[in-house]
Amino acid sequence: MAGQMGCLSGSTTVTIVITDVNDNPPRFPQKMYQFSVSEGAAVGTPVGHVMATDADMGENTDMTYLIKEGGDLFKVTTDVETQEAVVSIKKPLDFESKRTHNVVVEAVNKHVDPRFVDLGSFRDQTIVRVSVTDIDEPPIFQPAEGKVMEVQEDAKVGALVGVVTARDPDVKNKPVRYDHLYLSKLLFFLLKAHNHVIYGGR
């Protein structure tokens, strides 16, 4: 010991740095998230944000998100700053065709350590349920491109010229009221408001 004849000693500080390894998979806090969006929302409109957590540190928490189901109408992107999954509209939605969509989003670790693959899959899934809300859509003529009608030049006033048909695409299918924005500058034809029949005018 120090101070005794023939014994010398010293001391130093040893710093031990423990580095993190990627031994934890990403986990979604919830197995389902619910959002709503209007059927009139434009393509690219964000529907909602979800985020998985990772118990690791640093780059071992980096993850990316994929869509496993529902990728026909929706897409997911990864916000590199917040590590959030942003679910947005990929194609136009239609309330009348389908009101609820289940989108399966998967979180995957970017840097998987092969030493820990035996611990299980370094990925997790959640369901994003999207409810589509209705908007009041204008009537649709059938056929949409219109039609050509012919009438004799000596046809009498009130003679039948032809029939046009329109329908309300909304679920309530309200009655359609007809009006003529333009038929002829001289009003050669008449269209009854509550009918779809075109008659000869003056």
Q: Tens digit of pLDDT per residue, the chain (202 long)?
A: 555 666 788 899 999 988 777 788 899 999 999 999 999 999 999 999 999 998 888 888 888 999 999 999 999 999 888 889 999 999 999 998 899 999 999 999 888 777 777 777 789 999 999 999 987 766 666 666 666 777 777 777 767 766 767 666 665 656 766 665 555 544 444 455 455 554 445 5
Tally of domains in the chain: 2
Check whether residue 142 and residue 96 sit in a common domain: no
* pLDDT number for residue 6: 66
For 133, which DSSP code?
A: E
Query: Would you state the structure tokens that stand for residue 11, as one six-digit string?
Result: 């001391």
* pLDDT number for residue 196: 52
Core vs surface per residue 148-164: b (16+ CB within 10 A) or e:
eeeeeeeeeeeeebeeb
Final residue before a domain boundary, out of 133, 161, 194: 133
Final residue before a domain boundary, out of 99, 133, 167: 133
In angstroms, rounded to a whole number, what is the distance separating the alpha carbons of residues 4 and 81? 62
* pLDDT number for residue 50: 98
Q: Can you say how many angstroms the Cα of residue 62 is from the centroid of all Cα atoms in its chain?
A: 24
> What's the domain range around 68?
32-133
In angstroms, rounded to a whole number, what is the distance separating the alpha carbons of residues 45 and 48? 9
Final residue before a domain boundary, out of 91, 114, 133: 133
For 61, which DSSP code?
A: G
The position carrying tokens 């120090």 is: 2
Check whether residue 195 and residue 126 sit in a common domain: no
Check whether residue 128 and residue 188 sit in a common domain: no
Cα-only R_g, the chain: 34
* pLDDT number for residue 112: 78
